[in-house]
Amino acid sequence: MDHFDLSHGSVAAPLLNVPYAKPVDFTQRWKLGHSLARQARCYSLYKGNGAMNLGAVLRNIDILAWIDFDPAFNLYHCC
């Protein structure tokens, strides 16, 4: 596959094989790096790469379809 798009629906979003290290949000409030070293490396290498930002994906999917696909994605409702 040369590229990945969400034309197959929002359920394809979890299949994106991207090691998100940039923040969930574009204001860089929450960071996702699995270690401090990874976080520092991502910040220095990918600061300007919006594709490494999970927020970019979440803004472009049907969030209700995504939650319906797997209830584990629903962060607003606990068990």
pLDDT at 41: 83
Q: Determine the 3-state secondary structure of 5 from DSSP.
A: coil
Quick one: average pLDDT of 50-79?
70
Task: Write out the H or E segment, with its range, that includes residue 68.
Answer: helix 63-69
What single-letter DSSP state applies at residue 44?
H
| 15 or 34, which is more confident | 34
Confidence of residue 26 (pLDDT cuts 50, 70, 90): low
Instruction: Name the token pair of 64.
Output: 């209700």
Quick one: average pLDDT of 10-39?
65
Confidence of residue 2 (pLDDT cuts 50, 70, 90): very low
Give the up-direction half-sphere exposure of residue 6: CA atoms within 13 A in the CB hemisphere: 16
Pick from 21-25, 39-43, 50-54: least confident: 21-25
User: What is the residue whose two structure tokens read 């994106």?
Assistant: 16
